[in-house]
Amino acid sequence: MSRAEAAPRVRRSHWLLSTIAGATMVFLYLPLVAVAAMSVNAARFGVAWKGFSLRWYAQLLHNQVVLQAALNTLILAAVSTAISTVLGTLLAIGLERFPWPRWMRRIVDAVVYVPVVTPDIVFAVGMLLAFEAVRQAMGGLRLGLATMIVAHVTFQISFVALVVGSRLATLGRSVEEAARDLYADTWHSLRTITLPLIAPGIVAGAMLAFTLSLDDFVISFFTSGPSSVTLPLYIYGSLRRGVSPDIHALSTIVFLVTVTLVLGLQLFTRSPKEE
């Protein structure tokens, strides 16, 4: 066997590999496909096929609770993403673009990583404790959409900061120095060079934050109030009460929205702009 022709990048896979890959895909998608199938099943009870119908989708449109939950979910995701994108970007620029001594950099780095590495459930409990402390100190704080937004922002900031920060780091000094050399002052260079160049990072960070917010259950579960039911909480609650078929329709819609978001995110992070 000649060594020279070793290492072809594309190889034929062993049948065992292909089988495992196929099986894994089935494993990942079969439950979701089952839900999608049930969402167009006319049957009200049970899972026996009673013909194709979109009535559960139609029913969703008339379910005020679901519509409110959907609205809450979107408000939660949109507002928390907006806040965290701004704060995360400030954090990234503040950390990357200043001559901090090493100890300062380490401390900030550590703080940024706390929300990333803390287990969800502990994070949720921590938020709950923080809100409890605020309530006891000032009174009047009720768990609701506001507390959920605050909680989501707390973990989103770090993810945005990490994404934007890595983009800033790859940018390097030279383009900003070139801008300076070409008569740009601080503000002009920030506006015309730095921000446009890290924009893909900011967008990617924002989309990641949005996805994380939609994806979250545990933290919402702990920090929500009776008036701030979101879709995941609604679905979780209805699992307790007993499932009606419109949950299938709802889940399918959420899944499709997620697919769109993920594809959008991929499109942005792999933008051909980079070289």
Residues 113-172 that bind other proteins (CB under 8 A): 114-115, 117-123, 125-130, 133, 150-151, 153-154, 157-158, 161
Using CB under 8 A as the binding rule, the residues of this chain from 78 to 107 that contact other proteins are: 87-88, 90-91, 93-95, 97-100
Q: What is the nearest approach in angstroms of other proteins to the Cβ of residue 27? A: 6
The amino acid occupying position 175 is V
Angle between helices 246-269 and 55-62 (to 10 degrees): 90
When the beta carbons of 5 and 140 are compared against other proteins, the nearer one is 5
Decide: 153 and 80 in contact? Cβ < 8 Å: yes
Beta bridge partners of 41: 52
Q: Rule CB under 8 A: is residue 76 a binding residue for other proteins?
A: no
When the beta carbons of 45 and 52 are compared against other proteins, the nearer one is 45
Separation between Cα atoms, residue 57 and residue 221, nearest integer Å? 26
Alpha-carbon distance values, 82 to 16, 79, 85 (Å): 46, 5, 5
Q: What is the nearest approach in angstroms of other proteins to the Cβ of residue 129? A: 4
Specify the stretch interacting with other proteins by CB under 8 A; choose among 24-32, 52-60, 61-69, 135-143: 24-32
Q: Rule CB under 8 A: is residue 74 a binding residue for other proteins?
A: no
Q: Rule CB under 8 A: is residue 174 a binding residue for other proteins?
A: yes
- Least Cα distance to 77 among 229, 174, 215 occurs for 215
H/E element, 196: helix 195-215
Alpha-carbon distance values, 53 to 29, 56, 65, 245, 256 (Å): 22, 8, 22, 11, 18
What x/- string results for residues 208 through 247 when contact with other proteins is judged by CB under 8 A?
x--x--xxxxx---x--------xx--xx--x---x---x
Separation between Cα atoms, residue 24 and residue 162, nearest integer Å? 31
Q: What is the nearest approach in angstroms of other proteins to the Cβ of residue 64? A: 21
Q: What is the nearest approach in angstroms of other proteins to the Cβ of residue 98? A: 3
Q: What is the nearest approach in angstroms of other proteins to the Cβ of residue 267? A: 10
Instruction: Select from 42, 44, 46, 65 the one that contacts other proteins (CB under 8 A).
Output: 46
Q: Rule CB under 8 A: is residue 261 a binding residue for other proteins?
A: yes
Task: Output phi, psi for 195, to 5 deg.
Answer: -60, -50
